[in-house]
């Protein structure tokens, strides 16, 4: 079976929607922000979490659940009729859940959060943001810049800052990603740490979103972020946007696997010739030799990705070598 199915056809996860009708009837204008809440960990405080989000008055709220549906979904949907619950009928990666949630959102900006995260001082440090009018001013600044994703500073449950920025480096020809703390406003990050950030809905759609066929979260995020930068998009941090974990940040497996193969061909193998991106034929032999697929499968994988690169050739504005060379390493 080919590992490159996502290049030509997005995987569609079936789901049903509960709730959200009340807000549609009473809303006079489109909210600028949607909060997309991904469930993780304990459910004991979910009611309080949803109440806090609703009280913040920041826009629509979407919760992605399933495929195992919790017993409390139905009573929660009655208590919070304005909140939409997307009930997935199949297993889906975090990136797939975000794709579905952002596509469902009506707002122009979508804030992706996990259920074990919380806003710090109303999401923006030291400014007391929590009222709808304060959020409106804050979001206008983000939307003006047309950034694909704006990421926050992150802190653990002991109030220690998490080095959440991802800085790329090439060491002996291999891409290494180094975690970095935020030291100044507007610093770039190669991808959103733990998927968390405010995504520009339209730009996210144009970028292709997260690859649904990559099961490894690390390579899925790195593929999304690297492709975004190679296509001329940006992922930047705002220092006054602060999110805290209720527990410990997750750890991820960055060892090469089947997801890495697709990541490598779509990103690392591409060369930019000053006008467009190409996947050189000269790389085919080395890929087939080192891939753990048999020779015929490896050749087909290479051919499919080469076609995808060709179809998107004018979207490339750089390649990995050039991107890393021009990346400003913070002091």
- pLDDT above 90: residue 72: no
Strand partners for 62: 36, 84
Q: CA angle, 301 as apex, 299 and 307 as ends, to 5°?
A: 100
Higher pLDDT, 37 or 21: 37
Nearest by Cα to 105 from 28, 26, 17 = 17
Structure tokens at 164: 């959440």
pLDDT of res. 44: 55
Mean pLDDT (whole number) for 257-265: 89
Place of tokens 């079976």: 1
pLDDT > 70 in the chain, percent: 88
Nearest by Cα to 34 from 12, 14, 54 = 54
pLDDT of res. 2: 44
pLDDT of res. 49: 86
pLDDT digits (tens, 9 = 90+) for 151-178: 999 999 999 999 999 999 999 889 999 9
**CA pair distance 249, 152, nearest whole angstrom:** 14
The answer to whether the beta carbons of residues 175 and 168 sit under 8 Å apart is: yes
- pLDDT above 60: residue 146: yes
Other beta carbons within 10 angstroms of residue 151's beta carbon come to 29
List, in order, residues 6 or more apart from 64 with CB less than 8 Å away. 36, 37, 38, 39, 86, 88, 97, 100, 101
Higher pLDDT, 130 or 196: 196
Range in 58-72, 95-109, 223-237, 302-316 with the lowest mean pLDDT: 58-72
3-state secondary structure of 102: helix
**CA pair distance 124, 163, nearest whole angstrom:** 18
pLDDT of res. 129: 44
Higher pLDDT, 118 or 133: 118
pLDDT of res. 203: 96
- pLDDT above 70: residue 322: yes
pLDDT of res. 200: 96
Per this entry, what is the length of the chain?
331
Buried b (16+ CB within 10 A) or exposed e, 114-127: bbbbbbbebbbbee
Q: Where are the domains of the chain?
A: 14-245, 258-325
Structure tokens at 329: 């390493």
Q: In this structure, which CATH number among 1.10.357.10, 3.30.70.260, 3.90.550.10, 3.40.470.10 belongs to the domain 14-245?
A: 3.90.550.10
Q: Where are the beta strands (DSSP E) in the chain?
A: 15-18, 33-38, 60-65, 84-88, 109-114, 117-124, 149-155, 161-162, 165-171, 174-180, 197-200, 235-245, 271-272, 277-278
Mean pLDDT (whole number) for 134-150: 86
């Amino acid at each position: 079976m080919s590992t490159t199915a996502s290049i030509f056809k997005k995987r569609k996860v079936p789901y049903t929607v509960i709730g959200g009708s009340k807000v549609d009837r009473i809303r006079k204008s489109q909210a600028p922000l949607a909060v997309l809440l991904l469930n993780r960990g304990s459910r004991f405080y979910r009611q309080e979490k949803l109440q806090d989000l609703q009280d913040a008055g920041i826009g629509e709220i979407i919760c992605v659940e399933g495929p195992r549906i919790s017993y409390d979904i139905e009573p929660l949907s009655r208590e919070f009729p304005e909140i939409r619950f997307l009930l997935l009928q199949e297993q889906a990666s975090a990136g797939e859940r975000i794709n579905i949630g952002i596509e469902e959102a009506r707002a122009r900006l979508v804030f992706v959060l996990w259920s074990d995260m919380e806003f710090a001082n109303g999401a923006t440090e030291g400014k007391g943001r929590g009222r709808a009018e304060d959020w409106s001013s804050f979001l206008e600044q983000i939307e003006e810049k047309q950034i694909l994703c704006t990421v926050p500073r992150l802190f653990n449950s002991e109030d220690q800052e998490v080095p959440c920025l991802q800085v790329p480096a090439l060491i002996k020809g291999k891409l290494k990603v180094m975690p970095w703390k935020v030291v100044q406003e507007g610093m770039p990050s190669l991808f959103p740490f733990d998927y968390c950030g405010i995504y520009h809905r339209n730009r996210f759609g144009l970028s292709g979103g997260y690859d649904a066929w990559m099961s490894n979260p690390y390579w899925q995020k790195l593929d999304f972020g690297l492709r975004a930068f190679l296509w001329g998009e940006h992922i930047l941090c705002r220092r006054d946007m602060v999110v805290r974990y209720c527990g410990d940040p997750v750890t991820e497996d960055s060892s090469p696997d089947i997801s890495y193969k697709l990541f490598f061909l779509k990103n690392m193998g591409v060369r930019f010739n000053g006008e467009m991106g190409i996947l050189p034929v000269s790389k085919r032999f080395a890929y087939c030799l080192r891939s753990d697929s048999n020779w015929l499968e490896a050749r087909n994988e290479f051919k499919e990705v080469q076609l995808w690169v060709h179809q998107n050739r004018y979207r490339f504005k750089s390649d990995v070598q050039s991107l890393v060379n021009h990346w400003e390493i913070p002091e």
